[in-house]
Amino acid sequence: MDPAFVVAPVNRRVFGSFVEHMGRCVYTGIYEPGHPTADEDGLREDVLDLVRELGVTTVRYPGGNFVSGYRWEDGVGPVADRPTRLDPAWRAVESNAFGLNEFMRWAVRAGVEPMLAINLGTRGLQEAVDLLEYTNHPGGTTLSELRVEHGAREPHDVRMWCLGNEMDGPWQLGHKTADEYGRLAAETARALRQFDPGLELVACGSSSRAMPTFGAWEATVLEHTYDLVDHISAHAYYQLHGDDHASFLASSVDMDRFIQQVVATADHVGARLGSDKRVDISFDEWNVWYLEQKVGDAPTAPRDWAVAPRTSEDAYTVLDAVVVGSLLITLLRHADRVTAACQAQLVNTLSLIRTEPGGPAWRQSSFHPFALTSRHAVGTVLDLRLDAPTLATDRHGPVPLLDAVATHDADSGRLAVFVVNRHPSEPVSFTSSLRAFGGATLLEAVVLADDDLTATNTQDDPDRVVPRGHPDASVAGEALLADLPPASWSMFVLD
Ligand code: AHR
């Protein structure tokens, strides 16, 4: 490690998350009127406390697949007048009791930057510019005065807007070909920029690297939108398949290749268009998600329409948390091109935070690597030279046994090192040269590891999985030394 070798400044937007009207993320998640901790707006204070502790910076809203059938007007104005609708994305009944202005109030209280997604599934350009005018215009027009009438005197001034969601996916309401979407995204972006040239716009990239259209989709969409957008999105979810721990622990290798290939595709389009502009990546959905059932799970019956049903309430294990830590390492390592990212999702639905209606809120295992990385990854991301043995994996081929990133804050002199040992069953000794950081001392060393990789945090045992002090980390001479347990995530902070 050397402070002279820098990838890019840490972009705080990389510590984003996602609130979708999906399952119980909103209802009985962040919003539950009548809950003992709810404020006068029905926002759960216990959840707000955890969100602030988590260090989330940017939150994408309101979807996700949900947004592709959403009429934003349904969620504003007097709650009693709001329509109840069917949400086909998640087969849910949507009361619309929570909408745009409630989300903005929540975002202010949580101290996060809102990032709004626009419906380009069932809707188009006119509804998008209406939403922008309602949200951001100060006043004096019918739509902006309607917002004032709805209790939001000041414009919300949302800077970052997603032009639809996963439009490459056949499951998406209003799914389109790359050409159809690219045209619509370009027209919508052009119109939004006529209202405010300074907006930051995100075009839909691929829903995963495994999509049959991956690569071609980005190229076509960017041919249409290159000069009109700032970011292309990427989404990725990983899970343990059977007992293949080694492949699962190497999930970030897939994310790394995904990022490299999107960057190459975007730059290729830029070259073809003769443009000096650069389009960056908004990795605005990523996480571990048990989309395929775990071995031994009972088959699920087709779901009927329900209000805020329990959907994808995955209880994350130690192993899942280690993978989440390594995905964050990968996102940070690409700080030069990944300029925003949203862990999906914040509460209850494939979440970092769990709640029970009327009951407690608690931290999932994966809350911890996220919170610690957000708190300590400050300053610039360093370009490391990593020398590690190779581990064979079924899904990703041979991969480096270690995954690591470091950040350095020139102002405070703080150095933070994040490392994952991907070996499922063997420890590894880790050494890092501190020659370029003369006299650095170890301030904090923690490790997330466990003899039981399936352990989870539950309502009854909310702190079963927490990071512990590293038993044998030290600075000796000009080196940081530690033994990394099998399947572990570690953080070292030095001064
Ligand atoms: O985050 C859950 C869902 O995953 C989102 O609604 C969708 O965009 C993605 O497929």
In angstroms, rounded to a whole number, what is the distance separating the alpha carbons of residues 360 and 458?
10
Q: How far is CA 303 from the centre of its chain?
A: 27
C-alpha 380 chain-centroid distance: 20
Per-residue pLDDT at 304: 87
Nearest atom (ligand 1) to Cα of 287: 1
Amino acid at 65: N
DSSP strand pairing (474-476 vs 397-400): unpaired
Pocket test residue of 119, 165, 204, 313 for ligand 1, highest count of atoms within 8 A of CB: 165
Residue 243 burial by Cβ neighbours in a 10 Å radius (0-12, 13-18, 19+): exposed
With both helix axes pointing from N to C terminus, report the angle between 125-136 and 142-149 in degrees, rounded to the nearest 10.
50
| Structure-token pair, residue 72 | 């934003």
Can you tell me which atom of ligand 1 is nearest the CA of 169? 10
Q: HSE (CB half, 13 Å, CA atoms) of 455?
A: 16
Structure tokens at 149: 């009438």
Cross-strand partners of 490: 419, 447
3-state secondary structure of 8: strand
Q: CATH assignment of 390-494? A: 2.60.40.1180
CATH of 9-379, one of 3.20.20.80, 3.90.650.10, 3.40.50.720, 3.20.20.70: 3.20.20.80
Task: Give the span between the Cα atoms of 133 and 6, in whole angstroms.
Answer: 40
Distance (Å, whole) CA 329 – CA 335: 10
Q: In the block, which residue shows the tokens 């904090």? A: 444
pLDDT of residue 303: 73
pLDDT per residue, tens digit, the chain (495 aa), is 999 999 999 999 999 999 999 999 999 999 999 999 999 999 999 999 999 999 999 999 999 999 999 999 999 999 999 999 999 999 999 999 999 999 999 999 999 999 999 999 999 999 999 999 999 999 999 999 999 999 999 999 999 999 999 999 999 999 999 999 999 999 999 999 999 999 999 999 999 999 999 999 999 999 999 999 999 999 999 999 999 999 999 999 999 999 999 999 999 999 999 999 999 999 999 999 998 654 444 555 557 899 999 999 999 999 999 999 999 999 999 999 999 999 999 999 999 999 999 999 999 999 999 999 999 999 999 999 999 999 999 999 999 999 999 999 999 999 999 999 999 999 999 999 999 998 899 999 999 999 999 999 999 999 999 999 999 899 998 999 999 999 999 999 999
| Three-class DSSP category at 160 | strand
Q: Whose CA is nearest to atom 4 of ligand 1?
A: 64
Q: Is 233 in the pocket of ligand 1 (CB under 6 A)?
A: no
* 319 Cβ contact partners less than 8 Å away, ≥ 6 residues apart: 240, 245, 248, 249, 453, 454, 487
The pLDDT value recorded for residue 291 is 85
Tokens of 206: 């691929």
The answer, yes or no, to whether any atom of ligand 1 lies below 6 A from the CB of 62, is no
DSSP string, 172-204: STT---HHHHHHHHHHHHHHHHHH-TT-EEEE-
Provide CB contacts within 8 A for 390, sequence distance 6+. Answer: 398, 399, 400, 401
Instruction: Residue 257: count other Cβ atoms within 10 Å of its Cβ.
Output: 13
Output the residue whose Cα is nearest ligand 1's atom 9.
64
10 Å CB burial of residue 439 (0-12, 13-18, 19+) is: exposed
Segments of 239-298 assigned E as strands: 280-288
Res 295: pLDDT: 43
The reply to whether the predicted model has a pTM over 0.80 is yes
Task: Determine how β-strand 474-476 pairs with β-strand 479-484.
Answer: antiparallel
Q: What is the pLDDT of residue 302?
A: 57
Q: Taking the domains of the chain in order of start, what are their residue ranges? A: 9-379, 390-494
> Which residues carry out catalysis?
166, 285
> What 3-state class would DSSP assign to 48?
helix
* CA–centroid distance, residue 63 to ligand 1 (Å): 7
Whether 390 contacts 398, CB under 8 Å? yes
Helical (H) or strand (E) element with 54:
helix 45-54
